[in-house]
Amino acid sequence: MDVSLVIPLFNEDESLSELYEWIIRVTEAEKLSAEIIFVDDGSTDNSWALIEKLAAKDERVKGIHFRRNHGKSAGLNVGFAAATGEVVITMDADMQDSPDEIPGLRKMIIEDGYDMVSGWKKKRYDPLSKTIPTKLFNWATRKMSKIDLNDFNCGLKVYRLEVVKNIDVNGEMHRYIPFLAKNAGFGKIAEKVVEHRARKYGVTKFGLERFVNGFLDLLTLAFVSKFAKRPMHFFGVFGMITFAVGFLAAAYLGGYKLYSMHYLGDKARLVTENAWFYIALTSMIIGTLLFMTGFLAEIIVRNSGRKTEYTVDHRLNF
């Protein structure tokens, strides 16, 4: 199989037939053997019925249907698990990604030797309320990941098959697939300017809250990329430092109390009347809790190897 196209979707019945015909036209013109994997993320419109019709007439079309909406990351994760092509391409189903980009993207993997190539929608047809937060998001991700890409969240991407088989896209991590690929050891990542088409059907499924969630996910990923396999190195270090600060402060207060008792006798101030006593005590408690958190996290990491599972209720042509 030359190429697998993984297309997650939610309520896109208006565009599916047109998108399918466009993909077939491009792949047949390039003489590429292809499979089209539509992942229906619990659509409430006619999307799944259309996928069933397409799969019935063309064995190249494969369908996966979720019982409920899990999100784009879940759709990509399950689609990646099902893909068998030498090259895997992802795109959105809303017709804003152009299938005409397929040959050029595939060439960068097969001939240029990249592990993955991310599309860059340099000229966008989006309002300022979306483009400005997107630029800030891409800047923050670029700085934190050390990957020189301009458009991390572009749905049009291409991968070598082994890349998608070695990453786990859960939560809302579809925005950070280049980061995930790099952490998995696939460092040959490039970018290609692609066409961004004006929306023809439907409305966007994402609101402004995705930028807040995206930033929180970025912080999570930055932490996980460094400490996922060794959480004690983070929690243990900060726990010991915090405990040590509290212990030294308490020791100082205790020593000062003994000194005061020796020279002042009954007039010596009680330790519990000093605010620093409670600060020192709190520091030791927090330090102990951080250390125990790291210890328990180490146990969980060493005994956890399961991937996230999703409720798939139908599969077609698998």
The CATH number given to whatever domain includes residue 53 is: 3.90.550.10
- What is the spatial distance between Cα 316 and Cα 307, in angstroms, rounded to a whole number? 23
* pLDDT the model gives residue 120: 92
> Is residue 142 a part of any domain in this protein?
yes
> Is residue 309 a part of any domain in this protein?
no
Per-residue pLDDT tens digits for 4-49: 999 999 999 999 999 999 999 999 999 999 999 999 999 999 999 9
Instruction: Name the percent of the chain lying above pLDDT 90.
Output: 53
Q: How many whole angstroms from its chain centre is CA 141?
A: 11
247 in the same domain as 125 = no
194 in the same domain as 168 = yes
- What is the spatial distance between Cα 91 and Cα 89, in angstroms, rounded to a whole number? 7
255 in the same domain as 188 = no
> Is residue 298 a part of any domain in this protein?
yes
160 in the same domain as 181 = yes
205 in the same domain as 295 = no
198 in the same domain as 262 = no
Q: What does pTM read for this prediction? A: 0.73
Q: Per the structure, how many domains does the chain have? A: 2
> Is residue 291 a part of any domain in this protein?
yes
Higher-pLDDT residue of 44 and 218 is 44
Count of H helices and E strands in the chain?
10, 8
Domain residue limits at 200: 3-227
Whether the predicted pLDDT of 305 surpasses 70: no
68 in the same domain as 160 = yes
Per-residue pLDDT tens digits for 161-217: 999 999 988 777 888 899 889 988 999 999 999 988 877 666 665 555 666 666 777
Q: Which amino acid makes up residue 157? A: K
**At a CB cut-off of 8 Å and minimum separation 6, what does 148 contact?**
142, 191
CB atoms < 10 A from the CB of 275, how many?
8
Mean pLDDT is lowest, of 17-21, 75-79, 262-266, for 262-266
